[in-house]
């Protein structure tokens, strides 16, 4: 997928007044998650990074999949699909294999990091990010990696030297910690990947299938998963039932609880750190390095 096509499809502002449900009175863990999202994902959405990876033969999707999966080393595609969880396995596996065939891991990681740090430095301007970067680094260093493959693999990589690079890496790690935790919370409830996507998109405020389809799932698979959720009493027509909303709220609370050690490590400065991260994330959106869509930001 060409980056210009991604921009045309994804960089449209939400309608005026749009608010994603989980951003209303968020928990501290959710507030941190939303504050870091555009910084952590600068590597995926920034033009400079995409243009640099394109010189290596990677387009938007292969760059995203190979770039994120490289934290695991070079496992089989089935392992990547299992850890990514919410993507259709053949879809993400094909992107992974295409990425690996285009360029080697070290070349890709080096180009990806250099371009992202340069782009994020430009987006944040004169921001002094060192203290927040250090706080995030200390918090993720103390976090438990048990059962968290993407988080643990990324944490094992060398940290960038520049403060902006450390800020980006810290945000990436908080994001992967939450993502791994969220998948565990969902699977504990007996949810498959399509069902996870559907519950999240409806909970955030998207129409049924709107988000799930971007993960490579065919209409038939989405329809079958929706039927399965209806059979469990979790959907009413094309929206969450009261039971479905309660279940998704419980999954969110479990995910938050699994991130509690990170919040404890950030200590009494958590609220100020979240406020600062949110302001820097707005700079990323203003620089067109993250989609201005409130639902996309809340869904991940």
CA dihedral 286→169→144→185, nearest 10 degrees, is: 40
Query: pTM score, two decimals?
Result: 0.96
Q: For 60-111, how does the pLDDT look when each residue is reduced to its tens digit (9 = 90+)?
A: 999 999 999 999 999 999 999 999 999 999 999 999 999 999 999 999 999 9
- pLDDT, residue 132, reads 98
- pLDDT, residue 76, reads 97
Give the residues of the chain that fall short of pLDDT 70: none
- pLDDT, residue 300, reads 84
- pLDDT, residue 239, reads 98
For 189-207, b where at least 16 C-beta lie within 10 A, e where not — what string? bebbbbbbbbbbbbbbbbe
At which residue do the structure tokens 């699909």 appear?
81
DSSP secondary structure, 191-211, as one string: --HHHHHHHHHHHHTPPTTTT
Which tokens hold the place of 210? 């709107």
Q: Which residues is 235 bridged to in the sheet?
A: 240
Structural contact between residues 30 and 181, judged by C-beta atoms closer than 8 angstroms:
no
Element (H, E) at 24: none
């Amino acid at each position: 997928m060409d980056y210009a096509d991604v921009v045309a499809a994804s960089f449209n502002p939400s309608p005026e007044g749009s608010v994603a449900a989980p951003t209303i009175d968020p928990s501290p863990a959710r507030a941190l998650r939303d504050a870091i999202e555009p910084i952590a994902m600068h590597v995926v959405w920034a033009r400079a990074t995409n243009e640099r990876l394109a010189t290596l033969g990677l387009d938007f999707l292969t760059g995203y999949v190979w770039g994120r999966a490289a934290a695991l080393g070079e496992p089989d595609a089935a392992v990547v699909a299992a850890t990514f969880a919410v993507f259709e396995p053949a879809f993400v596996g094909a992107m992974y294999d295409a990425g690996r065939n285009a360029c080697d891991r070290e070349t890709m990681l080096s180009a990806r990091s250099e371009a992202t740090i340069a782009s994020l430095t430009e987006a944040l301007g004169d921001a002094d990010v060192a203290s927040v970067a250090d706080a995030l680094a200390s918090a993720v260093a103390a976090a438990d990696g048990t059962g968290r493959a993407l988080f643990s693999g990324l944490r094992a990589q060398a940290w960038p030297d520049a403060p902006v690079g450390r800020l980006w890496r810290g945000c990436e790690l908080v994001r992967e910690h939450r993502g791994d935790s969220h998948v565990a919370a969902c699977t504990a409830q007996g949810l498959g990947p399509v069902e996870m996507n559907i519950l999240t998109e409806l909970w955030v405020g998207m129409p049924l299938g709107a988000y799930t389809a971007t993960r490579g799932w065919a209409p038939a698979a989405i329809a079958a998963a929706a039927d399965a959720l209806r059979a469990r009493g979790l959907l009413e027509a094309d929206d969450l039932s009261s039971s479905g909303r309660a279940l998704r709220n419980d999954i969110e609370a479990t995910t938050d609880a699994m991130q509690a050690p990170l919040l404890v490590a950030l200590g009494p400065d958590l609220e100020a750190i979240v406020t600062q991260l949110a302001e820097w994330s707005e700079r990323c959106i203003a620089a067109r390095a993250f989609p201005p869509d409130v639902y996309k930001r809340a869904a991940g």
